[in-house]
Amino acid sequence: MDRSDYLQQLHSRFSVAQSEIIATVEAALSVPVTNLTRIIKGDEYEVHRVQLRDDSTVYLRVDFPGTPVSMVEHEAWAMSCARDDGAPVPEVLGVSVIDDDIGPRAAMLVRASPGRPLAGVLASLLPTQRSTIMSNIGNVLAGLHSVRMPGAGRPNADGAWMTPAQERDRRLSDCLAAVHQLRVAAFSPGDIDRVKRALQQDCPSAENPVLCHGDISPEHVFVDSDLNVVGLIDWGMWSAGPAVAELAGLDIRLSEPDYFALATGYGRHEIRADSMRWHAIAQLVHQIDWLVSSEQAEELERPASVLREFLP
């Protein structure tokens, strides 16, 4: 199935009652709710846009069943770290638990970001404007990546972190366990062996972990009329890791001119090409594994093509 059908099918399985949404928001803010709109997006939670009587807008994000509350609390903490360092991150207004018919579900209430999604303006931008905004994104990321983390990956339910070396080894192990899914994307046994060798031979050394958003995309970047970045939303894939991992993910998704402009705004030059390649290959293997596992085979063509380009 394609992405749209997948999301519709996924989200049809979960729906918090409007009365619960209203009760949760009004208990947290003491302001009456005037309108609710559900947004069908994302693989991990349902999102409701909530308009209040004071004309402000907030979003209630309800995680899918089984998501530990600690995971949502850690995400709120990461967003707070980014805000404290000056990153344009929406304010978290509270984390709570909603008692749904299918069990308790963790929920996060956040203020709406100012500006508008970059995805809605990209097509209308001149090349020079597009370069400007990509450079601005690079500058914001450079600031975000200056935030040092106390460990690598994400903390567990008890708040304990992995060391950078442990997180690196976990990534490698997970990638090697997932490469068999490449067969579904028409990779030959020889191609799969090449992927394994690239992962095993080029695995980068452990690095000091920094705060990474993990899912920078035009849908998650908000801009104002002057093309300044005024919002980074959707922190569900945040992690503490090497900055090169986030940059590799952007290299995968962006066109060459866009990535060049972003890298110029980022302004750092110590990123090694072999580390970039390793993280790109690792992320593409995971992306293909996820698409196969979630039966989104119609979405495999692009990541499979990009993965072949990165193979040595």
CATH at 141: 3.90.1200.10
Same domain, 87 and 120: no
Q: Are 295 and 6 in contact (CB under 8 A)?
A: yes
Of 2-6, 107-111, 253-257, the least confident: 2-6
Same domain, 58 and 124: no
Q: Which residues of 197-230 are buried (b: 16+ CB within 10 A; e: fewer)?
A: ebbeeebbeebebbbbbbbbebebbbbeeebebb
| Assigned token pair, 119 | 């995805």
Same domain, 90 and 157: no
* CA quadruple 159, 164, 169, 175: dihedral, nearest 10: 80
Which domain-ending residue is among 90, 111, 132? Answer: 111
In this structure, are residues 1 and 9 in contact, taking their beta carbons and an 8 Å threshold? yes
Task: Examine the domain organization and report whether 43 and 128 are in the same domain.
Answer: no
Average of per-residue pLDDT across 4-9 = 88
pLDDT of 307 reads: 97
Question: For residue 272, is pLDDT > 80?
Answer: no
Task: Report the percentage of the chain scoring pLDDT > 70.
Answer: 99
Q: How many domains does the chain have?
A: 2
Q: Examine the domain organization and report whether 291 and 202 are in the same domain.
A: yes
Domain boundary among 65, 87, 111: 111
33 and 173 share one domain: no
- Are 169 and 245 found together in one domain? yes
Do 117 and 219 touch, CB atoms closer than 8 A? Answer: yes
Q: What is the pLDDT of residues 48-63, one digit of tens each?
A: 999 999 999 999 999 9
> E strands within 140-218?
210-212
Q: Please say if the pLDDT value at position 68 is more than 80.
A: yes
pLDDT score, position 269: 63
Question: What is the rounded distance in angstroms from the CA atom of residue 191 to the CA atom of residue 34?
Answer: 56
Residue 56, Cβ neighbours under 10 Å: how many? Answer: 12
Host domain of residue 163 = 116-310
The two structure tokens encoding residue 29: 């803010």
Q: Which residue has the higher pLDDT, 49 or 272?
A: 49
CATH number for the domain including 106? 3.30.200.20
Query: How far is Cα of residue 218 from the mean position of the Cα atoms in its chain?
Result: 11
Give CA separation, 271 vs 89, 143, 248, in Å: 26, 16, 10
The reported pLDDT for the residue numbered 270 is 61
Neighbour count for residue 309 (Cβ, 10 Å): 9
**Whether 45 and 128 share a structural domain:** no
Q: What are phi and psi of 94, to 5 degrees?
A: 165, 155
Element (H, E) at 96: strand 92-100
What's residue 83's pLDDT? 97
Same domain, yes or no: 124 and 259: yes
In the β-sheet with 116-117, what is the strand arrangement from edge to edge? 116-117, 221-223, 229-232
The two three-digit tokens of residue 38, written as one number: 């559900």
| Nearest-angstrom CA–CA distance, 211 and 142 | 10
Is 42's pLDDT higher than 90?
no
pLDDT value at residue 66: 86
Which of the listed residues 51, 82, 111 is the one where a domain comes to its end? 111
Residue 107 in contact with residue 96, Cβ under 8 Å?
Answer: yes
Q: How many CB atoms lie within 10 A of CB 308?
A: 14
Task: Tell me: do 26 and 59 sit in the same domain.
Answer: yes
243 vs 273, higher pLDDT: 243
What per-residue confidence (pLDDT) applies to 242?
A: 93
Count, residues in the chain = 312
Residue whose entry in the numeric block shows the structure tokens 């996924």: 10
Q: What is the pLDDT of residues 183-234, one digit of tens each?
A: 999 999 999 999 999 999 888 887 889 999 999 999 999 999 999 999 999 9
- The pTM assigned to this predicted structure is 0.94
Mean pLDDT along residues 114-139: 95
Residues 23 and 143 in one domain: no
Residues 90 and 142 in one domain: no
Q: Inform me whether the pLDDT recorded for 271 exceeds 80.
A: no
Q: How far is CA 301 from CA 2, 39, 158, 296, in A?
A: 12, 27, 40, 11
- Return mean pLDDT, the chain: 94
CA end-to-end distance (rounded Å), the chain: 31
